[in-house]
Amino acid sequence: MAEKRIGIGADHAGFELKRTLFEDLAQRGYAVVDFGTQAAESVDYPDFAHALSKAVAARELPLGILICGTGVGMSMSANRHHGVRAVVCSEPLSARMARKHNDANVLCLGARVIGVDTARDIIETFLSSEFEGGRHARRVGKIDI
């Protein structure tokens, strides 16, 4: 079986949730690449979003998870990278559909919006859902300009 790899990154608002989710993913057998931050002191979210997104865009990692206060800033920064399709999710249905229909490869979470259990449910759904291709592939192909 191929090694399951994923990147994770957060700013100060997402630091504690990132630590918890990092451990969860490692326990599930993922090789987790930590893009920081490593402390709860104030930092700039784009720095972490760009670092993780570069790795996903270069196909060094198949998927990534970014966490900030709302997930919005991380998503906006990540989506600046060609080939990255970042989505903010606050519940599992959006995560499922983003993977199945939009081939999302970066999941953004809001640590101030959702709790740990909801984050776990969203991640489980995101990771267990696969892109359906077909008519959706044509649409995804029109995203990058």
Which of 50, 81, 89, 101 does the annotation list as catalytic? Answer: 101
CA 14 to each of CA 10, 81, 83, 98, 119: distance values in angstroms, whole numbers, following the listed order:
5, 21, 24, 22, 11
Q: How many domains does the chain have?
A: 1
Output the pLDDT for position 59. 96
End-to-end Cα distance, the chain: 35
Task: Summarize pLDDT for 11-61 with one digit per residue, the tens.
Answer: 999 999 999 999 999 999 999 999 999 999 999 999 999 999 999 999 999
Mean pLDDT score, 64-85: 98
Give me the domain span that covers residue 35.
4-140
Output the pLDDT for position 144. 80
Task: Summarize pLDDT for 91-142 with one digit per residue, the tens.
Answer: 999 999 999 999 999 999 999 999 999 999 999 999 999 998 899 999 999 8
Assess whether 12 carries a catalytic annotation: no
pLDDT at 1 over 60: no
Output the pLDDT for position 145. 78
Domain annotation covers residue 145: no
Mean pLDDT score, 70-88: 97
In this structure, are residues 101 and 83 in contact, taking their beta carbons and an 8 Å threshold?
no
Domain annotation covers residue 48: yes
Report the CATH number that the domain containing residue 67 is assigned in CATH.
Answer: 3.40.1400.10
Distance CA 15, CA 96 (A): 25
Assess whether 81 carries a catalytic annotation: no
Which of 68, 81, 89, 108 does the annotation list as catalytic? Answer: 68
Output the pLDDT for position 3. 73
In this structure, are residues 66 and 105 in contact, taking their beta carbons and an 8 Å threshold?
no
Domain annotation covers residue 55: yes
Output the pLDDT for position 2. 57
